Amino acid sequence: MAEHAAGMAGKNVLVTGGTGGIGKATAMELARRGARVGIVGRDAARAEAAARDIRAQAGTSVDVFAADMSSQADVRRLAAQVLDAYPHLDVLVNNVGGYWGKRHTTVDNLERTFAINHLASFLLTNLLLDRLKASAPARVVTVSSGAQSLGRLNFDDLQGERKYSGQRAYNQSKLANVMFTYELARRLEGTGVTATVLHPGVTRTNFGAEDRSRWFAFMNRLGQPFMKSPDQGASTSIYLASSPDVDGVTGRYFANRKAKKANKASYDTEAAARLWRVSAGLVGLPT
């Protein structure tokens, strides 16, 4: 990755879920390339420790933002802090995500998987959109998963109130990431801000550790020897955030740094527009 060592000099980048795993590896490499990086984490002490590690290895400025992305009030406070800190914002990496085997609700009384994996990024991106447009060319990079291919949006039960399955909720949220990105790209056409989405590959992290279903825990143990390292898992995020190869590329899904076809359902423009309206209503934005 050293070939672009100074390629991000002068750029401001925000990485949510940046205190460990793929997020931290993404922030580390972008900082090594010269970017001023801000990392978002729920636990302030852990975020500070990650920032110290990145500063020590990259030798660049790293900002810490503590926010619980399951709380819309925290996401709004985070956005205000980011706008105060960065007169220009060149890249937003929506990396935060999680998996919960049982149904949990947030402080906003929303199902946690949908709230964190989709609505948090939806809200934060919208709150930062004017700054991104003013900083164009700029990029929004959202981390989805190969699980999007199994996803189905159930508009009659998006919150899993009638019937909940951790895997189904996760698949749905990852499809929502792709549909959000495609709709965002359509809305940003002509602004100089691009929106891309990616599958990082199955990676060795603490993902899902808070509440793993037995199936998830079993599959995780089984697959450990074949999983990517966090550095390898971050490769496509880094590529989409920094590479000149994707200048102007928008509304595309990537895996292994290559554009791929996503779930057929993700190309349904009416469903994507409906998801945008529903999401806006759930986070208190104009629909």
Q: Would you name the residues annotated as active-site residues?
A: 170
CB atoms closer than 10 angstroms to residue 5: 11
> Residue 228: left (phi > 0), alpha (psi -120 to 50), or beta?
beta
Collapsing DSSP states into helix, strand and coil, what is residue 103?
coil
8 A C-beta contact, residue 104 and residue 265: no
Angle at 205 between CA 199 and CA 208, to 5 degrees: 85
> Residue 21: left (phi > 0), alpha (psi -120 to 50), or beta?
left
What's the CA gap between 27 and 29, in Å, rounded?
6
CB atoms closer than 10 angstroms to residue 272: 22
Collapsing DSSP states into helix, strand and coil, what is residue 283?
helix
Which residue shows structure tokens 């929502």? 176
8 A C-beta contact, residue 119 and residue 279: yes
8 A C-beta contact, residue 272 and residue 182: yes
Angle at 141 between CA 137 and CA 146, to 5 degrees: 150
What's the CA gap between 234 and 242, in Å, rounded?
12
Residue among 279, 113, 95 at smallest CA distance from 210: 113
